Structure 1
């Protein structure tokens, strides 16, 4: 049985967004809160940036985090694979 998509109203960087996703409402809200927090942090550091520029920087930072986590995961899986071969 597949989970139905939930529609949740969230506020990110002063704008209201209707988000539809398969996660729980709390999960979607927590993701939106994280994005909002990150955008506010970048905006405080670089107050002259427009909202879309802040969003691009936050997106790049998050993409970098994901890439690093994927690399860490690959390293751990490789290490586990080596141990099972011994």
Structure 2
């Protein structure tokens, strides 16, 4: 039995090495191994870590052992975080735009006042 497990581990290692040689990133998410491709392996590993952590958190808070259900619940949690962050971004972006418009208006007003003073000095 131990020999069989060692062979399986060696086969997994060989397949992981072959996948990496082919440009794939090997990640483990919720005890499943995936071979993914992308331009930034470190970023892919980071994303896989986030998904794995979210699935484990969902699993720890629920009674379900169905990995598909855990994945869907984790995806819903991640989507909820995304929607909240987008709303926060939109609010901040709107505030920034209002501040920029106010600054432009004030700058225009100050330029007009400066032009008046300079015109009066030239005339006087």
- Tell me which interval the TM-score lies in, with the shorter structure as reference length: 0.7 to 0.9
Counterpart-to-counterpart distance in 1, 2:33 and 2:65? 20
Larger RCO: 1 or 2 (CA < 8 Å, sep 6+):
1
Unaligned runs of 5+ in 2: 1-22, 103-124
**Higher strand content, 1 or 2:** 1
Matching residue of 1:63: 79
Give the TM-score normalised by structure 1: 0.85
> How many residues in Structure 1 have an aligned counterpart in Structure 2?
80
Which structure has the highest helix share of the two?
Answer: 2
Residue 12 in structure 1 maps to residue 40 in structure 2? no
TM-score, length-scaled by structure 2: 0.60
Alpha-carbon distance between aligned partners in 2 of 1:46 and 1:11, rounded to the nearest angstrom: 21
Structure 1 gaps of 5+ residues are 1-5
